[in-house]
């Protein structure tokens, strides 16, 4: 564990498992470069998870994208980090409005297969309003560690050293995309001195947890990912197909049926979803 950076056990227990694994891996890394890369990928994986969630919620809402949004969604064929950021930013704006007109017409996800409400019954239930306020809202003066990360990125990218007391997360995320293209992508990783990677790793591990804490919402932050994990793992997906005799076209309907089954078993407000097995899985790693 890097000196001067404490491990946030409560955050680790609340994060979706892929993010919790990256967070712990960054703290347990043996070298500065490994710690730096894991710290950065902790943010990138969170961005992709946000983007994928936004795409799923948007498609389930029954809305029709305009020409600009359709063009951005086409980037999902071979998405770069910049594409993920554009998609997450655009869809967060769309989904934060709480406009339920599309859902009111009967396009609720898998409504015919469940008598309980879908998690997408209203767009307000998705928690994107709080995500919008955090990522695309005002300049913040209550996130000093993220401001420190922003200052470190400005120094690394533009040579503009100096402390900061405020941060706007839209600008921070854009700098993180630039940083990835300059320092990690295109064979650039490992070209800097060890002291540089150690300094940036500490900035990542100090600042990024504050970003994930800031995104807390009683609906969006609820760790419901465990119930979907089996459907998202490629090996288990293939096994599911073989066992059920499904072709690829039927797999989507099978997954939606499993989704509805999971929602019936674990309605919102069921705090058993915050089960201690997460702590066990995190501690083992």
Provide the token pair at 148.
């420190």
H helix runs in 161-274, sequence order: 169-179, 194-214, 225-232, 234-244, 248-265
Question: Does 40 have pLDDT greater than 70?
Answer: yes
173 is a domain residue: yes
158 is a domain residue: yes
Q: How confident is the model at residue 198 (pLDDT cuts 50, 70, 90)?
A: very high
50 is a domain residue: yes
Token pair 């459907």: residue? 231
Domain that holds residue 184: 9-224+266-284
Question: Does 35 have pLDDT greater than 60?
Answer: yes
72 is a domain residue: yes
Question: Does 73 have pLDDT greater than 60?
Answer: yes
255 is a domain residue: no
Q: How confident is the model at residue 188 (pLDDT cuts 50, 70, 90)?
A: confident
Alpha carbon dihedral 24, 34, 142, 160, in 10-degree steps, equals 180
Higher pLDDT among residues 259 and 158, named by residue: 158
235 is a domain residue: no
State the pLDDT at residue 259.
61
Which residues have CB under 8 Å from 31's CB, separation 6+? 194
232 is a domain residue: no
Question: Does 47 have pLDDT greater than 60?
Answer: yes
Q: What is the mean pLDDT of the chain?
A: 75
- What's the pTM value of the predicted model, to 2 decimals? 0.69
Secondary structure letter of residue 118 according to DSSP: P
Overall number of domains in the chain: 1
Provide the token pair at 75.
């980037």
CB 207 within 8 Å of CB 148: yes
For the ranges 102-116, 143-157, 248-262, the lowest mean pLDDT is seen at: 102-116
220 is a domain residue: yes
Question: Does 43 have pLDDT greater than 90?
Answer: yes
Higher pLDDT among residues 35 and 257, named by residue: 35
Question: Does 280 have pLDDT greater than 50?
Answer: no
């Amino acid at each position: 564990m890097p000196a001067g950076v404490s491990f946030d056990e409560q955050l680790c227990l609340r994060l979706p498992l892929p993010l919790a694994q990256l967070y712990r891996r960054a703290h347990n890394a043996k070298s500065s470069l490994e710690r730096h890369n894991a710290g950065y990928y902790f943010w990138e994986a969170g961005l992709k998870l946000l983007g994928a969630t936004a795409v799923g919620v948007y498609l389930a809402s029954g809305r029709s994208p305009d020409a600009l949004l359709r063009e951005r969604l086409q980037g999902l064929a071979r998405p770069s980090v910049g594409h993920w950021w554009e998609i997450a930013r655009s869809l967060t704006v769309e989904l934060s409005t709480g406009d339920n007109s599309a859902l009111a017409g009967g396009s609720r996800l898998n409504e015919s297969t469940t008598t309980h409400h879908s998690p997408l019954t209203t767009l307000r239930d998705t928690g994107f309003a709080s995500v919008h306020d955090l990522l695309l809202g005002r300049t913040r003066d209550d996130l000093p560690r993220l401001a420190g990360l922003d200052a470190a990125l400005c120094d690394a990218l533009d040579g503009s050293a100096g402390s900061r007391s405020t941060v706007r997360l839209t600008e921070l995320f854009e700098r993180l995309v630039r940083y990835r293209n300059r320092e990690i992508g295109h064979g650039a990783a490992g070209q800097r001195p060890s002291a540089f990677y150690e300094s940036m790793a500490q900035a990542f591990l100090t600042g990024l947890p504050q970003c994930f804490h800031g995104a807390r919402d009683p609906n969006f932050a609820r760790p419901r990912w465990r119930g979907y994990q089996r459907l998202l793992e490629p090996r288990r997906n293939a096994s599911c197909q073989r066992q059920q005799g499904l072709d690829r076209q039927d797999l989507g309907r099978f997954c939606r049926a499993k989704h509805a089954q999971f929602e019936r078993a674990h309605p919102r407000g069921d705090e058993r979803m915050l089960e201690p097995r997460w702590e066990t899985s995190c501690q083992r790693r």
